[in-house]
Structure 1
């Protein structure tokens, strides 16, 4: 308990020194670790930060449960509307009550093991919007409705993440050899495989498969072209994108 109070005092001092206010009623103490830590009555098992549910091991299961619950409610609303509004209205409703929750902060949790649940719910929602049967294939419908699949949403945010951040090193910066991949980015070193689940690893991997002409586009044009590619191909897996011939 003494340690937790000391940590809280240090946090309050830091906030005060930086002319910020700390709302102690909304402040929770959590220790992030890949190992199970001894119990502490002052530690919390989960916390919501800017709409994202965090747990001490950053496994994202709790967050995905909550997003799945919102998406399920959204699908129910879409079904209720499907008999009395047009496909265009249903598409607008989908973006408001399903897509907005599925895409929020996907850069952080989009490579977690439970993301396939949200993709299944997204396909169900798209079938409702396009009035398809429960088991009908809907890949072409994603293209027709211009909706990014969950894997495409994650790829899109990763590619924009790289384009916004210019502090990456290429193979050409490391050596002077004129190799085929000299313009590819060098991914940061991660000692643990678990650490490869974030954008630091996957953003570089996705970006490196793009042609050089696309990589060098200004940000606005890059964003437009990447979104067009992802919509037109409607990738269902990351591997489909990595194998795609641009």
Structure 2
């Protein structure tokens, strides 16, 4: 059964299958179904922008004929969800942002400088970070973030900037990843606690139960780590409304 995700004028169809052949057959059938619906409603499916992408941790037959990457709502997806291509894209945007900040260094105040940082660097680093912030390449973005913060605070290239993050009120990339995962839990409140599963009065009965994944690789998404991060929060922070936690 296909799942349809709609956003503005974009439509994404997804499904799971236990074989490559079945996956391709279901993809083509879903595309035909979508095209029929478009025609029935006097709409046109843009086939030039329509891509079929198979996600798998294994090698696939006819590998060279398949789409190896695609952009979805501003996030670059690769077929194994290793996020290398997306991090390359974000790193390029952050590098350009640092160049912009250096150009402003002699003509704006620190307050304006900070606003510019959030516009040209921080916005790219934080966008959709719960999905890809666990990947091994994020250290590159953290290095670029530190470089940007040094520019904003007019520090030298090798000066320590740990206190500067605190002074400017800017979350580091690792902290930003954890924070956005916590907000993910608050936005999606349909979680089960250990107390819902059993009646024993245990210490962790109010903790959320993370979803079960057979493979460790599958634990890298926000559905797993968001719960893990949330469970170690003090009870006072767990009970805060979303708007208060976000502040």
Normalised by the length of structure 2, the TM-score is 0.83
Once the 2 structures are TM-superposed, how far is the Cα of residue 201 of structure 1 from its aligned partner? 0.9
Rounded Cα–Cα distance in structure 2 between residues aligned with 1:206 and 1:37? 35
Structure 1 unaligned spans of 5+: 225-246
1:196 to 197, 219, 222: 219
Tell me whether 1:64 sits opposite 2:87 in the alignment: yes
Rounded Cα–Cα distance in structure 2 between residues aligned with 1:161 and 1:20? 35
Once the 2 structures are TM-superposed, how far is the Cα of residue 176 of structure 1 from its aligned partner? 1.5
Once the 2 structures are TM-superposed, how far is the Cα of residue 8 of structure 1 from its aligned partner? 3.4
Q: Could you tell which deviates more after superposition, 215-224 or 34-43?
A: 34-43
Question: SS where residue 65 of structure 2 aligns?
Answer: coil
Change (3 A) 1:2 1:111: closer
Rounded Cα–Cα distance in structure 2 between residues aligned with 1:19 and 1:160? 40
Structure-1 residue corresponding to 2:240:
217
Structure-2 residue corresponding to 1:238:
none
Once the 2 structures are TM-superposed, how far is the Cα of residue 137 of structure 1 from its aligned partner? 1.4
Summarize deviations over 1:5-30 as a string: whole Å, max 9, x none: 55632442465679875321211111
Summarize deviations over 1:148-199 as a string: whole Å, max 9, x none: 1111211111111111112111111112121111111111101011111111
Q: Could you tell which deviates more after superposition, 97-106 or 3-12?
A: 3-12
Rounded Cα–Cα distance in structure 1 between residues aligned with 2:203 and 2:37? 49
Once the 2 structures are TM-superposed, how far is the Cα of residue 41 of structure 1 from its aligned partner? 6.2
Question: SS where residue 111 of structure 2 aligns?
Answer: helix
Once the 2 structures are TM-superposed, how far is the Cα of residue 130 of structure 1 from its aligned partner? 0.2
Q: Could you tell which deviates more after superposition, 162-171 or 185-194?
A: 162-171
Normalised by the length of structure 1, the TM-score is 0.84
Change (3 A) 1:3 1:177: closer
Rounded Cα–Cα distance in structure 2 between residues aligned with 1:94 and 1:111? 23
Assess if the C-alpha contact under 8 Å between 1:28 and 1:43 holds in 2: no
1:33 to 48, 56, 67: 56
Assess if the C-alpha contact under 8 Å between 1:46 and 1:56 holds in 2: yes
Once the 2 structures are TM-superposed, how far is the Cα of residue 36 of structure 1 from its aligned partner? 1.2
Assess if the C-alpha contact under 8 Å between 1:170 and 1:182 holds in 2: yes
Structure 2 unaligned spans of 5+: 1-23
CA RMSD of aligned residues (A): 2.3
Assess if the C-alpha contact under 8 Å between 1:4 and 1:42 holds in 2: no
Change (3 A) 1:104 1:19: farther
Rounded Cα–Cα distance in structure 1 between residues aligned with 2:65 and 2:84? 22
Rounded Cα–Cα distance in structure 1 between residues aligned with 2:109 and 2:40? 56
Q: Could you tell which deviates more after superposition, 124-133 or 174-183?
A: 174-183
Assess if the C-alpha contact under 8 Å between 1:162 and 1:203 holds in 2: yes
Assess if the C-alpha contact under 8 Å between 1:127 and 1:133 holds in 2: yes
Question: SS where residue 55 of structure 2 aligns?
Answer: coil
Question: SS where residue 41 of structure 1 aligns?
Answer: helix
Higher RCO structure, 1 or 2 (CA under 8 Å, sep 6+):
1
Change (3 A) 1:2 1:151: closer
Summarize deviations over 1:187-218 as a string: whole Å, max 9, x none: 11010111111111110010001111221122
